[in-house]
Amino acid sequence: MNDKLDILGQLPQDIKFATAYYLPTSDLINLSTISRKHWNLFKPMLDVRRFLFHVVHGEYHAVVGMLKIDIHLIFKKGQISDCSGRIFESISGFEYSLWALDKYMWEMMLDCVHQDEEGKKILTTLRSQHHQVKTKGITYCFNGNKFTENHFDFENTIINELQTQYDYLSQSDIKDDPKISKQWREGVGGAQKLFPMHVVYEYCSDDPTRAINSWPKPSTQFYNWGAKNKENWFAIDSKLGIEFAIYKGMERAGAFNSILLGKDGCLVDLNAMKTLYQLRTKEFIDLKSQFKDLSMSEVNVSQIATGCK
């Protein structure tokens, strides 16, 4: 690999830059450290990679910290893989927040845009990106296949799987059918592995009184009742989707190899996901009208304690 980097380092600057765009981040870092000239050339690309990393990992404070230094990172595009393994070849942090329906992330980003002439130019770019995501969608690769979506597909993943589980449990004559537990572990659990980070935060929230439209405490930990320990949602050796799925209910998330509370317990999670999906998609659509207010500098974006302003 070092030989390849040496050869790449000798290419014309435009070809070098275009080729480096598709390098793994570790190789890009190595290429950047060949010389100060290379560092100056590739540092902007590395900054975008780092910014996107914080966005897909739901690291709100780190995102704000980088935007305070360079607000233009909000719309710059780069290559990133999210925690579920989706590969986005060209996406901005703002576009990812829209696709993920992470309204806390996009609100926090917008709160970092100053209400001045430069801010208006940035808002114009963000409004255009919102329109593109809404009308044409975002393309990514997952398990060797390409997908194009306007946003994370709640309906055909977690909502569909929880509905299937509920329908199984509602049929009293098949209560002991092993396919019920199998569908819970692999169907529901498999869908949960696909969550954007903000949905994981919803599941892992330990505040039963928190409203679904209030900011959840960032946490990716749940209790595995089989192993009797806490685990991380995206742990490399996680058996989520294989040996268990995660039940939320009214309390903190817990892992079970079958749903012990029957259809009523399943219905709690199903309704919660439906409500979250409906609320976030409405906020995604309503963002268009908010851009008009922002561009006229008449209305401030809702602020969160960690916001820029």
| Pairing state between β 254-256 and 221-224 | parallel
Structure tokens at 231: 């685990």
Domains of the chain: which residue ranges?
A: 2-150+281-295, 155-278
Structure tokens at 29: 């870092």
Pair 141, 171: CB distance under 8 Å: no
The one-digit pLDDT tens for each residue of the chain (309 residues) are: 455 545 555 655 665 555 666 666 766 666 666 656 665 666 788 899 999 999 999 999 999 999 999 999 999 999 999 999 999 999 999 999 999 999 999 999 999 999 889 999 999 999 999 999 999 999 999 999 999 999 999 999 999 999 999 998 888 666 567 888 999 999 999 999 999 999 999 999 876 556 666 777 889 999 998 888 999 999 999 999 999 999 987 665 688 887 766 788 889 999 999 999 999 999 999 998 888 777 655 444 444 444 566
Farthest CA pair distance, the chain: 71
C-alpha 69/C-alpha 58 separation (Å) is 19
Q: Report the pLDDT value the prediction gives residue 45, as an integer from 0 to 100.
A: 82
Q: Report the pLDDT value the prediction gives residue 102, as an integer from 0 to 100.
A: 97
C-alpha 186/C-alpha 165 separation (Å) is 11
Alpha carbon separation from 99 to 130, 148, 231 (Å, rounded): 9, 10, 27
Helix (H) or strand (E) holding 221: strand 221-224
| Burial label, 291 (beta-carbon count in 10 A; 0-12, 13-18, 19+) | middle
Sign of torsion over alpha carbons 65, 106, 203, 237: negative
Helix (H) or strand (E) holding 5: helix 2-9
Q: Report the pLDDT value the prediction gives residue 1, as an integer from 0 to 100.
A: 46
> Which of 202, 196, 197, 239 shows the shortest CA–CA distance to 217?
202
Question: Could you tell me if residue 77 is left (phi over 0), alpha (psi between -120 and 50 degrees) or otherwise beta?
Answer: beta
- To the question of pTM greater than 0.75 for the whole model, the response is yes
Structure tokens at 12: 């014309």
Q: Report the pLDDT value the prediction gives residue 214, as an integer from 0 to 100.
A: 72
C-alpha 196/C-alpha 170 separation (Å) is 29
* Dihedrals phi, psi of 70, to nearest 5 degrees: -145, 95
Q: Report the pLDDT value the prediction gives residue 215, as an integer from 0 to 100.
A: 75
Rounded to 10 degrees, the C-alpha dihedral 80/84/86/90 comes to -30
Question: Could you tell me if residue 259 is left (phi over 0), alpha (psi between -120 and 50 degrees) or otherwise beta?
Answer: beta
Alpha carbon separation from 120 to 104, 127, 285, 291, 295 (Å, rounded): 21, 10, 20, 10, 6
